Structures are given as structure tokens and as C-alpha cells.
Amino acid sequence: MLEIIRIAVLSDNYVWLVHEPRSQETMAVDPAVAEPVLAEAEKRGWKITQIWNTHWHPDHTGGNAAIKEATGCQITGPAAEKDRIPTLDRLVKGGDTVKLGEVVAEVIDVPAHTAGHIAFYIPSEKVAFVGDTLFAMGCGRLFEGTAEQMYDNMRKLEALPDDTKIYCAHEYTQSNGEYAMVAEPDNFALKERMAEVLTLRARGEPTVPTTIKLERATNPCMRAKSAAELAERRTAKDNF
């Protein structure tokens, strides 16, 4: 039922513009900047009524104030980061729900990249907006949390249905895949996927959204057998 539009901004960010046609509500996920998001909505005849933030980093919240000024939208984000996102109107945490029209999203706590990071999962649409927690073939850097927290995040997300589409906030797939090939050199599914990724990127095409099924098969962070192994792999990727 949802229409989800990818807006590429900055060097490698994606803002997701989400339209619910019955209510005519439109929501932006993690708008790094305002102008391209407002322009895309205007082009489609949509009015942005909400913003959902997954965490406080400026490349996810930088467009909040200008979009709010232009549209009067409501901004929802992590209660644990309210002091770092001054534009928030509604504070949420794991176990809460939010709605776009009649479509209900569940809030999942996924701290580690930032201390209060959240994700939004929409069961009826089999869609999750995960910010910088889960990437195609990778996970977010551990800026404000621990490997144990990120390992727990991977367990929460891998429990979603196989065909859940994962909308992350960056085009990191090729670099993640290059490291993944080193971490799991005998993973045939990974080799197949990387060949597809290289073809897409050579054409300048995006590689996300991904799916939970694909990440279970090819993501070295999700596939880590322990928090210690995830820590090793994340550190190795940081230095790759």
C-alpha cells in the first residue's frame, strides 16, 4: 500500500519519502537536507505531514527544521536522544507504535551506533527503516555503544520475516561487500551477490533496499556467531 521513494543526497545518504495513499499522508525518514525532499514531494503532489528520525546524527536530522517550517509536519524520534534532536515533537522508544495514516509501525530499540538509535518496522508492509544499524552486508560503526548491543540488534532484526525489505540510510554496499568477501571467502551466496552489486554500481544504480533473507545469507555482521566475533569484524571493517 505504501509508495516509497528513494532520494539520494550528500555523498551517499538516502532519504526515504513514504506516501500512504488512503490518508494522503507523506513521511520522510531521516532527512539529511530539506530542499531535495521538499522538491520530490512537490513534484508528486504530496504534502509531508511527518518526519521519522532513527537517530540524532546531522546527516539524518539536518533537514528537520526547514521541512517543518515549510510544511508544519510532526517529527517523531528517539526519546533517549531528545536533547540532541531539538526539533522532535513526539518521543518514542522500543515497544511504542507510530502511524502513517492507518499504517502502523513498531518501534525497535537498536542502540550501538548511537546510544538511543531506533528502527521502525511496519509488519503489514513487511518494511523496516533501520537508519545506520543494519546495512547491506554490514552494520553501523559502534560510536556510542558496544558490540554486545549490536549483536543483540542483529538478533532482533534477523527475527523479522525473510521477505522484510530493509531500508537503510547509506549506499555502503560495495565497500561492505569487499570486506565481507575477506571475512567469509568461501561464502558462495556472498560471491553471487557481490557480482550483482558490482554490476549495479557500475551502472550507477542503487543496491538497497535489501531483505532480511539476503542479509542472513551474506552479511558478516549478522552472521557473526558471537558478540566477540562481531567486534572483530566491525574493527576489521573500520580498518579495511
Q: Which of 57, 109, 117, 152 is catalytic?
A: 57
Q: Which of 30, 109, 117, 132 is catalytic?
A: 132
Nearest to residue 167, comparing CAs of 54, 39, 19? 54
Given a contact cutoff of 8 angstroms between Cβ atoms, the answer to whether 119 and 129 are in contact is: yes
117 catalytically annotated = no
170 catalytically annotated = yes
Residue 30 backbone class (left: φ over 0; alpha: ψ -120 to 50; beta: rest): left
109 catalytically annotated = no
Q: Is the dihedral of CA 189, 194, 196, 200 positive or negative?
A: positive
pLDDT at position 1: 86
Q: Which of 19, 30, 109, 113 is catalytic?
A: 113
pLDDT in tens, 53-109: 999 999 999 999 999 999 999 999 999 999 999 999 999 999 999 999 999 999 999
pLDDT at position 91: 98
pLDDT at position 239: 93
**Residue 231's CB: how many other CB atoms inside 10 A?**
17
19 catalytically annotated = no
Q: Which percentage of the chain shows pLDDT scores above 90?
A: 99
User: CA torsion 76→82→83→87, rounded to 10°?
Assistant: 10
State how many domains the chain has.
1
CATH number for the domain harbouring residue 44: 3.60.15.10
pLDDT in tens, 162-187: 999 999 999 999 999 999 999 999 99
Nearest to residue 151, comparing CAs of 228, 235, 240? 228
pLDDT at position 101: 96
Q: Which of 59, 109, 117, 152 is catalytic?
A: 59
pLDDT in tens, 31-48: 999 999 999 999 999 999
Q: Which of 30, 55, 117, 152 is catalytic?
A: 55
Average pLDDT, stretch 181-203? Answer: 96
pLDDT in tens, 116-140: 999 999 999 999 999 999 999 999 9
Q: Which of 30, 117, 152, 170 is catalytic?
A: 170
Range of the domain at 98: 3-238
